[in-house]
Amino acid sequence: MRWEDRDQSSNVEDRRYSGSDSSGGGGRRGMPSLSTMMFLWPIVKPLLKTKFGWAIIGVGAVLYFSGFNPLSSFTGGGSSTSTHINNKADDREAKFISTVLRDTEVVWSDIFKQHGAKYRMPKMVLFRGSTRSACGHASAEMGPFYCPADQKVYLDLGFFDELAKRYSASGDFAQAYVLAHEVGHHVQNLQGILDKVQRLKQHARSQKGENQLQVRVELQADCYAGVWAHHAEKRFHMLEKGDIEEALNAASSIGDDTLQKQAQGYVVPDAFTHGSSAQRVEWFKRGITTGDIRSCDTGI
C-alpha cells in the first residue's frame, strides 16, 4: 500500500508511552500509578540502603522511561507493555495508521458532502496495554473498537502483530481494513444507526435476536470499509498488487465461524456477533466494488 507521501491525521491521541490506564496523550511513558508504587515499596525500600540498590533503581528508571516496563514482572502488566517495544518500528506503524485515518477523513467528508451533510471526524487513541475510554476499560486483549460515547477509535498497535501471527492476516492493507471497519462504526453512529440498533436490542426476545442485530451492524461496517477503499484508491492511487487480497484474508480470518473453530473446534451460528468469514468477505467486496453506501443496507 502506498502511503508515505500523504498527510497524517491530526485527530490522534498518542497514549502509547503514557502508562497503563491513562486517559491523556503524550509521547513518553508517564509515572507509574500510586497503587503500583505502593505495591513495589516493600521491594524498593531495602534497595535504598545500599549504593548497589540505588544503581538498580536508576537502571530500572531509565528502562521504564525508555519504553520498556521493568515493573511488569512484579505487577503482571499487559502483554503489550510487558515486552520490549521497538520504538522506531512502533512509531512507523503509528505514522502509517495515522495516514490511513486521514484518508478516511478525506473520503468520508466527500461522501457526506455529496449527501448534503457534514462529516464529524472521530479521534483515534493509540495505546499499549490498557487505557480508559468513555465506554469503559480498554485493553490490548479486546482488540480495536469504536466507542460511540466519545466518538473515538481505540487501537493497541500490538493487535496488528496478533493479526499477523495468530490469524495469518499480515500486510499493511489488512491493517487499513481494520481501521476502516472501526471508522465505519463511526459513520453508523453519525447516521443514527447505532442508536437505532440499541433500541431494537432492548425489544429483542432473546440473545440470539440481539446477536443477529449486531451481525448486521458489523457487516455494514465491513461494507463501509470497502466503500472507503473504493474511493481512496480513486483519489490516492494507493493500492498495490495483493492489497485487496490482504483485506479479504483479514476479513475471512476474523469471521465468527473461523474464530469459533479455532477456539472450540465447532461452530455455533446463534452466537455469531460479527458474521461468518464468507459474509464478511462478501460485504467488504460489495463496498469496494460499488463504492456506494446504499449498497451496504444489511436490513437494519
Helices (H), ranges, the chain? 34-47, 51-65, 72-75, 87-114, 158-165, 172-191, 193-202, 207-236, 243-253, 256-264, 277-290
**270 CB-contact burial (10 Å; exposed 0-12 / middle 13-18 / buried 19+):** exposed
Select, from the ranges 40-44, 70-74, 115-119, the one with the highest average predicted confidence (pLDDT).
115-119
pLDDT in tens, 242-280: 999 999 999 999 999 999 998 999 999 999 999 999 999
Q: Is the pTM of this model over 0.85?
A: no
Comparing CA positions, the residue from 172, 70, 87 lying closest to residue 128 is 87
**Cβ(255)–Cβ(278) below 8 Å:** yes
Pairing outcome for strands 123-127 and 152-156: parallel
Model pLDDT, residue 21: 52
Identity of the amino acid at 102? R
- Residue 147 — φ and ψ, nearest 5°? -110, 110
Residue 75 pLDDT greater than 90, yes or no? no
Residue 73 pLDDT greater than 50, yes or no? no
Confidence category of residue 65, pLDDT binned at 50, 70, 90: low
pLDDT in tens, 192-222: 999 999 999 999 989 999 999 999 999 999 9
Q: Where are the domains of the chain?
A: 87-296
Confidence category of residue 64, pLDDT binned at 50, 70, 90: low
Cell reading at 32: 507509574
